[in-house]
Structure 1
Amino acid sequence: MKKSIFMISMILILCLTACGQQKDVPKESGTTSETAKSGKLNVLFMSGVYADSARSMTDEFKEKTGFDVEVNDVPFASFHETAMLDFASQAGSYDVVAVNLSWLGEFAPHLEPLDDRVKESGMEVDKFIPSVYDACKWNDVLYGFPKAPTPNMMAYRTDLIDTPPKTYEEYMQMAEKFNDPDNGMYGISIPGKKEQYAVLYLVRSWAMGADVADKDWNVVVNGEVGRSAMEQLGEVTKYSDPAGLSWGLEESINAFLQGKAAFCEAWPTLGIVQAADDPEKSKIVDNWAIAPFPQEKTGINQMSIWCVAVSKYSKNKDAAFQWIREYSSLEKQEKFFDEFGILPSYTSFWEKDEVKNSKMGPLGEGLKTSLPKWRIPVSAELDSIMANAVSSYMSKQMTLDQAMEFFDSELNRAIKNNPPPADSKNDNAIAIEEALK
């Protein structure tokens, strides 16, 4: 009798345990069909339209899967630190993490590889723009789906400027022409905070003919091209609001929307596209357009891409994969473009006549001639070094010689301490060499 009672008790315990596991924790097979029927996902996205787009699909996802989704939004300046702290603790506080492409090599050990899951899911990934999709790979392993591939371009006033500048010399001539500080008008509106503006050093350097390191990762930043790019950034301050050195994207974009600048160097998809033709928010309705930065010698632009990834430490990996799959679908990307101005990653979107012939058309063309930043683990440190060098020079805390010597020595130190893989090449330097031929 005791034996029978014991056996019945064990069966009940095992049943309750199994049932509890099925309810609360999704299986780890990689197939979305085995996702638990309820639970909670935590998503980490950059503040602004990116986080807003994620929130816009939470109710639909809850209805479809039973999972509540909490979208945690963090400003770009503190995003890297927030994600790395969670990775270091292996707490898995965030199931889904947006990854700026330049952090991919550093983040990869903390992300869930997706190749097997993609294969099992039957996703038609060949419909992504190939270069954009491949950018979310590290060492040939896929770690995320592309989000918001955006070429770094300028906005300009079409009521003031007929044809955008082709060289930086021409750009400065135009900026000087419309610069009128006494009447609150400036040639150029800049997001001068170092976390935002430093990347425009690369835009200029690449267009002029050099990356900060050659194809074998030898630092060349303090050469003729590097110094010219830095000098050009300094010249921009002559035709910008002095307060611009403390502005973020919002302040810079708002100044342009209020008609206080002829050009704007902030990312146009993070506010200009959404508001420039809204009479309640803009004084330049129908009088603006987007153009590449001056093409100079190579015609190469800089591109930002985010990847939507699953944390290696997530306890809900199947549900997290289902979430990033739906977020990255063509249907959702077109919806996010319509509602938030976030650029889709699908070839078919950019081939539509209504897109090609719209104010967004130049962005699609820009994707074809844009390079992303490095993906090697030292990339985040490069961003920091570059930001300090650029901001110190533009604010006159350093001379040109001091800024370039700092940039050179710190980047050499960073690469020495965290060298790229032995068999890797600097693809950006190779692309620039090819463009110069």
Structure 2
Amino acid sequence: MKRKFFQLSTVLIVVVLISALFLIGGKGKKEAPEVVVPEEAVMRVGSQKERAEALAKQYAGVTVTILTEGIAAGPPMAFAKQFEEATGVKVKVIPSPYTETMSRPLVEHEAGTGAIDIYRIVPDWVPDFAVAGVIQSIDDLVKKYMTEEDLADIEPGRLLATMYYEGEIWGMLMDGDIFILYYRADIFEDPEAMKQFKAKYGYELAPPKNWEQYNQIGQFITDFTGGKVYGGAGVRAPGQAYFWFNQLFKGAGGMHFDPETMKPLINGEIGRQTMQQLVKELEFGPPGMVNWGITELWSGFVDGKVAMHFAWPPGGRFAEAASGLANYPTWLPPTKIAGKIKYALLPGPFKGEGPPGAGMMGNGFWVLSSDSRNREATFAFMMWMNSAEMALKTSLYANSLMDPYRLSQFEAPEYQAAWPNASLYLETLREAGKYALVPTKMLGGTEIDEIIDVAVTSVMGGMPIQAALDEAVKKMEAVVNRLGRDRVKATYKDLTKMQEEIHS
């Protein structure tokens, strides 16, 4: 109860602050402090990394501060010294709980401290933070210091789903977070398991094509292993459970709103099917899964207790640490499944045939605080960390939460050879980008995600599915009415347009 109370308290703070800043600030986009750039302009020559270093050198002695989720602090802390030695710009990293990365930017902005330059956030939060004046567009800086080639190396689905909002670039992608399926190939390819499965269900034991198959496979593995390995698992605890709802809901073609009327639609047939699926997985999942967060999910997988799950990519690298990757996360048990896993795209439909489910984009997005007093120096560090060279380094830093998002990363021989199945891992992650689902990146999206999260955890606690969804719809209606139906509608149309462009 304490954990849930903390989550709801955080949401309340966010709702109050966003609403207040929205009403006070109108459009909410705050002008960034003026910074005088030396006449020796940075030429757009050399690699992105070299240009970032040249820009940063003009601000030697400045300190850039970043607020990030604690378990994502590894790479910026690991490479801060290298950046300082190359440029003279210091980097201070503040690790924080996930929920604080949502609330603290609003608190800092309201107080006008200017203490934080970079926030690591979820892309969903961009519209709310932008309208509240908490963050600023970096579109002008990207056009000034980056080239078309720099951006062309970023996988298109991830680029559109994260960096763009209303036609402008609002942050720098640092992490190619996307959902794919991770499964125990040693169990799926076990001759006896394959024989028994086909005899029971009439088709081959292989990655599922729909969620009905996922359930059948999951239950079979739990039974086949006598509960020593559970067929599947997922996140159901407060805070990030909405990602799992959104993956199934949007992957099956669900829309949060009617784009013309902005009537919430999550309490319809696809919403009910989504909730039913989330509940169904508890039947073949590990005991206590209703309280599992991402740490518990990854722990259960690398410990060999879960045969199949879908989540963000780090779990795939963590599971292979024994195959040669260093700096294994201290917050996970030692992996027991190195060399035993494979990867696949997620199912889309609940039953029958259909295209694969698009991966749900997640975290790993750096944005520039509107109150930063070191705008260009801050951008230089963001640009440096986003460069092809540093992206490869950070994605191979084993306890990193930064996953590949650049085409050059997917194709890098060093990454391809990182473990025996690394090429399949990279191929699957790259393919998933073609089906990328745009997060709830719309005005009010922060609240909508939290409303869905509460609905999921309420159902996990025993609340009837329809009642939970109907209650969520009422809350979503209230958000739309409070923020202004036309304004919310415009941002939702921007989201759907972006989604169509990715899938075209």
Scaled to the shorter chain, the TM-score interval is 0.7 to 0.9
Q: State the match for 1:405 in structure 2.
A: 470
Q: 1:46 aligns with which of 69, 81, 95?
A: 69
After superposition, the Cα gap between the structure-2 partners of 1:94 and 1:155, relative to the gap in structure 1 and judged at 3 Å, is same
Aligned to 1:311: 369
Residue type of the alignment partner of 1:87? H
Change in 2 beyond 3 A, CA 1:424/1:72: closer
Q: In percent, how many aligned pairs have the same letter? A: 21
* Equivalent residue number for residue 173 of structure 1: 216
Aligned: 1:220 with 2:265: yes
Say which SS state the counterpart of residue 186 (structure 1) adopts.
coil
Matching residue's letter, 1:82: R
Of the three residues 146, 150, 155, the one matched with 1:129 is: 155
Instruction: Find the partner of 2:126 among 97, 100, 104.
Output: 104
Of 34-43 and 197-206, the range deviating more from structure 2: 34-43
Q: Give the counterpart of 1:116 among 114, 137, 140.
A: 140
Query: What SS class does the counterpart of residue 290 from structure 1 fall into?
Result: strand
1:152 aligns with 2:179: yes
Residues 210-236 of structure 1 show CA distances to partners (whole Å, capped at 9, x for unaligned) of 122133332111111111111111111
Q: Deviations over 1:182-239 (max 9, x none)?
A: 7443221223212122211111112222122133332111111111111111111111
Q: Which residue of 1 aligns with 2:384?
A: 326
| Secondary structure of the corresponding residue to residue 322 of structure 2 | coil
1:66 aligns with 2:92: no
Question: Are 1:175 and 1:188, in contact at CA under 8 Å, matched by a contact in 2?
Answer: yes
1:207 correspondence with 2:276? no
Tell me how far apart the structure 2 counterparts of residues 300 and 358 of structure 1 sit (CA, whole Å): 18
> Aligned-pair distance for 1:178?
1.6
**Per-residue CA shift, 1:359-392, capped at 9, x if unaligned?**
2321111011111212112111011100110111
Which of 235, 240, 247 is matched with 1:196 structurally? 240
Structure 1 unmatched ranges of 5 or more: 1-24
Find the counterpart in structure 2 of residue 21 from structure 1: none
Deviations along 1:327-370, one digit per CA (max 9) or x if unpaired, are 11110001111113622332333345774833232111101111
Q: 1:392 aligns with which of 416, 434, 458?
A: 458
The Cα of 1:79 is off from its aligned counterpart by 1.6
How far, CA to CA, are the matches of 2:264 and 2:122 in structure 1? 23
Structure 1 range deviating more: 350-359 or 134-143: 350-359
The code of the aligned residue for 1:271 comes to: G
Q: Which amino acid aligns with 1:395?
A: G
Matched, 1:292 2:318: no
In structure 1, the partner of 2:318 is 274
1:365 aligns with 2:431: yes
Q: Which residue of 2 aligns with 1:75?
A: 97
3-state SS in 2 of match to 1:278: helix
Deviations 1:161-185 (CA, angstroms, capped at 9, x unpaired):
2421111111111111122597443
Query: How has the CA–CA distance of structure 1 residues 173 and 103 changed in structure 2, closer, same or farther, with 3 Å as cutoff?
Result: same
Query: Which one of 309, 325, 328 corresponds to residue 264 of structure 1?
Result: 309
8 A Cα contact 2:221 2:231, kept in partner:
yes
Residues 185, 341 of structure 2: 8 Å contact kept: yes
Q: CA deviation at 1:149?
A: 2.2
Q: For the Cα contact (< 8 Å) 1:46–1:75, is it kept in 2?
A: yes
Is the CA contact 1:27–1:36 (under 8 Å) kept in the aligned structure 2? no
CA distance 1:139–1:433, change in 2 (3 Å): closer
What SS is found at the alignment partner of 1:98? strand
Q: CA RMSD in A?
A: 2.8
Distance 1:313 1:424, change over 3 A: closer
Cα 1:230–1:422 shift into 2, 3 Å:
closer
Question: 1: distance between equivalents of 2:502 and 2:90?
Answer: 48
Q: Distance between the aligned counterparts of 1:326 and 1:26, measured in 2?
A: 22
Q: Which residue of 2 aligns with 1:382?
A: 448
- Structure 1 residue 429: deviation in Å? 5.3
Indicate if the aligned counterparts of 1:96 and 1:311 stay in contact, CA closer than 8 A: yes
Residue aligned with 1:265, SS: strand
Shift of 1:28: 3.8
AA matched with 2:244:
L
The more displaced of 175-184 and 86-95 is 175-184
Letter in 1 for 2:183: Y
Cα distance, 1:198–1:156 mapped onto 2, change above 3 Å? same
Structure 2: stretches of 5+ with no match in the other structure: 1-32, 42-54, 190-205, 324-332, 417-421
* Aligned-partner Cα distance in 1 for 2:474–2:278: 20
Select the residue among 75, 88, 94 that pairs with 2:116. Answer: 94
Name which of 312, 317, 336 aligns with 1:283.
336
Change (3 A) 1:225 1:436: farther
TM-score of the two chains, using structure 1 as the length reference: 0.85
Show the 5 A alignment for 1:18-29: 27-29=35-37
d(CA) in 1 for partners of 2:441 and 2:97? Answer: 21
Letter in 2 for 1:276: E
User: Structure 1 pair 432/367, CA: closer, same or farther in 2 (3 Å)?
Assistant: closer
- The size of the alignment, in residue pairs, is 410
For 1:434 and 1:138, the matched residues in 2 are separated by 13
Q: What SS does the corresponding residue of 1:212 show, helix, strand or coil?
A: coil
Pick the structure with greater CA Rg: 1
Query: Match for 2:409 among 324, 346, 349?
Result: 349
Deviation (angstroms), 1:417: 1.4
Q: So what's the TM-score if we normalise by structure 2?
A: 0.75
CA distance in 2, matches of 1:63, 1:424: 42
Structure-1 separation of matches of 2:436 and 2:246 = 11
Relative to 1, partners in 2 of residues 1:262 and 1:130: Cα closer, same or farther, differing over 3 Å? closer
